[in-house]
C-alpha cells in the first residue's frame, strides 16, 4: 500500500529530476520541509518497494513504477487546479494548496469526469503540462525570463506555483501563461530587469524573473 507521504515524495523526486538525473537528499529535505534523516528513511522504504533507485550520498532516481505513480499524482493535481480555476472560480494563487489535499483522494472515475468536463485540457492554470492518462507528458524547452537578452520578445510558458504572494503580484501586472513579454533593459550587478507587458513597463527582481519561464514564438 502506497501512503500519501510516499506519493508526495515520488512527485517531488519527479519534479526535481526534470532538471538533473539524480535528486539529492538535501534538496528533498528542503522541499519536503523535514530532516535529512527522515528523507533517508523514506527513500529506503521506497527503494524496498522498487519505486526508486537510491544509493546513500549518491542521490535518488525514480524507477519506471515510481515514475508512473508520480505522473498519476501530477495528473490529478493539475486537473484539479484547472477545475478549481475554470469551474469554481478560484484564483491561480489558491488552487495549488487545495489540489495538494485533493490529489491523493480522487478516484480514477472522478479524474475522468473532470477531464471530460474541462474538454481534456493540456495545461494547468500556471502553464504546467498535464500528463495524459497514459502517463505521457510534453515539456517544451524553456528559459527563465531572467536569461532572455535585451530586446527579445518571448511568451510566458509557465510560472512557478510555489509562492501564492508572487502569483498574486504577477497577475496584477499581467504576467500569465501565453502573454507576450519584451525585455527592455537589465540593471547591472543583478539589478532589476525591465519588461514590457501589454504596452506597460514593469521592473522585476532576479528572484521574480527566475520564477517565470518563457518560450520563443
Under 8 Å between Cβ of 30 and 42: no
| Chain segment 27-48, per-residue pLDDT in tens | 899 888 899 899 999 999 999 9
Domains and CATH numbers, the chain: 4-62 (1.10.10.10), 143-215 (2.30.30.90)
Mind listing the pLDDT tens digit for each residue in 91-115?
999 999 999 999 999 999 999 999 9
Quick check: 73 and 101 in contact, CB under 8 A?
Answer: no
Q: How far apart are CA 64 and CA 165, in angstroms?
A: 36
At residue 138 the predicted structure's pLDDT band, cuts being 50, 70 and 90, is: confident
Q: Which residues pair with 62 in a beta bridge?
A: 52
Smallest Cα–Cα separation from 127: which of 37, 215, 27, 39?
215
Quote the Cα angle for 18-21-24, to 5°.
95
- Cut 0.75: pTM above it: yes
Q: For residues 40 and 109, what is the distance between their CA atoms, to the nearest angstrom?
A: 35
Amino acid at each position: 500500500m502506497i501512503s500519501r507521504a510516499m506519493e508526495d515524495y515520488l512527485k517531488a523526486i519527479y519534479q526535481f529530476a526534470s532538471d538533473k538525473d539524480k535528486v539529492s537528499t538535501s534538496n528533498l529535505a528542503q522541499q519536503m520541509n523535514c530532516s535529512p534523516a527522515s528523507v533517508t528513511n523514506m527513500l529506503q522504504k521506497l527503494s524496498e518497494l522498487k519505486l526508486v533507485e537510491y544509493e546513500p550520498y549518491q542521490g535518488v532516481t525514480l524507477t519506471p513504477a515510481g515514475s508512473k505513480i508520480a505522473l498519476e499524482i501530477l495528473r490529478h493535481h493539475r486537473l484539479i487546479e484547472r477545475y478549481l480555476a475554470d469551474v469554481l472560480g478560484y484564483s491561480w494563487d489558491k488552487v495549488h494548496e487545495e489540489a495538494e489535499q485533493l490529489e491523493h483522494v480522487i478516484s480514477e472515475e472522478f479524474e475522468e469526469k473532470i477531464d471530460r468536463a474541462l474538454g481534456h485540457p493540456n495545461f494547468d492554470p500556471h502553464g504546467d503540462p498535464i500528463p495524459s492518462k497514459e502517463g505521457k507528458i510534453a515539456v517544451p524547452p524553456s528559459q527563465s525570463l531572467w536569461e532572455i537578452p535585451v530586446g527579445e520578445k518571448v511568451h510566458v510558458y509557465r510560472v512557478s506555483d510555489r509562492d501564492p504572494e508572487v502569483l498574486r503580484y504577477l497577475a496584477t501586472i499581467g504576467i500569465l501563461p501565453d502573454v507576450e513579454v519584451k525585455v527592455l533593459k537589465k540593471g547591472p550587478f543583478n539589478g532589476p530587469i525591465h519588461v514590457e507587458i501589454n504596452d506597460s513597463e514593469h521592473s522585476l527582481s532576479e528572484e521574480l524573473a527566475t520564477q517565470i519561464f518563457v518560450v520563443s514564438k
